[in-house]
Amino acid sequence: MGEIVDFDHIRLTDRPLLISDVDDVVLEFLAPFESYLSSLGHKLLPKSFRLHGNIVSAINDQVLEDTVVTELLLTFFERQEEWQTPFGDAVGVLHKIGTLADVVFLTAMPPAFTAQRRRLLDKLGLDFPLLATESPKGPVVKALHGDRPLPFAFMDDMAHNLHSVGDHAPGCLLVQIGPQSEIHRHAPPPGPHVLRAADWHDASERVLKHFEARV
């Protein structure tokens, strides 16, 4: 792992464990970020599955410098409480899963913005533990679950995160969920070992079935 990830505030029980990404899984990211860009006179014109190189001026379609895009992302994370909303039925479904399993949020975001994300999730009633890190997710999931003899699952929209967890925690159920958008048409497909969920209800059925079969 890169930076030191603080697990001290997480207390797991003797129940199965769901580890979930946040952006475009629990909270909408892409649509609010595009609205944020529009408010500043920019827009997303995706030619690849990345933000850098695909954000342009709305006036003349000139591509913004990478440093400018990075600053836009950081400012958006700082102001996320003003823009981000729940992704689909995440709130209700997570409450249901939380009655049967432990839930931990693992968000790929600079840890400096943890407080803002914590407040936003708490406002939505999603008071599950939160880990914010820019480290690869596979080692984090492996360290979090440890050697507990209980089933666990990981949900994310990004194929590389799912593959990272699959490489480091081979016993983990991998579920991909996320938006359908123009930029996602450029996304690399996940491997055959990753389940693709249509929505949160579909994801919940797959996760809970996995838990029930192994408890």
Predicted pLDDT of residue 170: 92
Residue 35 structure tokens: 């609205």
Do 101 and 48 lie in a common domain?
Answer: no
Do 67 and 106 lie in a common domain?
Answer: no
Give the whole-angstrom CA distance, residue 102 versus residue 113. 24
The separation between CA 49 and the C-alpha centre of its own chain, rounded to angstroms, equals 16
User: Residue type for 145, please?
Assistant: H
Can you give the CATH number for the domain in which 198 is found?
3.40.50.1000
Predicted pLDDT of residue 2: 54
Could you tell me if residue 5 is inside a domain? Answer: no
- CB 193, CB 153: distance < 8 Å: no
Q: Hey, is 109 helix, strand or coil?
A: coil
Do 72 and 150 lie in a common domain?
Answer: no
Predicted pLDDT of residue 149: 93
Predicted pLDDT of residue 6: 76
Look at the chain and report how many structural domains it folds into: 2
Do 95 and 111 lie in a common domain?
Answer: yes
Render each residue's pLDDT in the chain as its tens digit; 215 residues. Answer: 556 677 889 999 999 999 999 999 999 999 999 999 999 999 999 999 999 999 999 999 999 999 999 999 999 999 999 999 999 999 999 999 999 999 999 999 999 999 999 999 999 999 999 999 999 999 999 999 999 999 999 999 999 999 999 999 999 999 999 998 889 889 888 889 999 999 999 999 999 999 998 75
Could you tell me if residue 62 is inside a domain? Answer: yes
Q: Hey, is 115 helix, strand or coil?
A: helix
The Cα-based distances of 2 to 34, 135, 166, 213 in angstroms read 29, 5, 19, 35
Residue 199 structure tokens: 């929505």
Do 189 and 122 lie in a common domain?
Answer: yes
Sequence-ordered list of residues with C-beta below 8 angstroms from that of 184, at least 6 positions apart, any chain: 49, 178
Do 136 and 202 lie in a common domain?
Answer: yes
Do 204 and 116 lie in a common domain?
Answer: yes
User: Which among 149, 158, 130 has a CA at the least distance from the CA of 9?
Assistant: 130
Could you tell me if residue 156 is inside a domain? Answer: yes
User: Which among 146, 159, 161 has a CA at the least distance from the CA of 102?
Assistant: 146
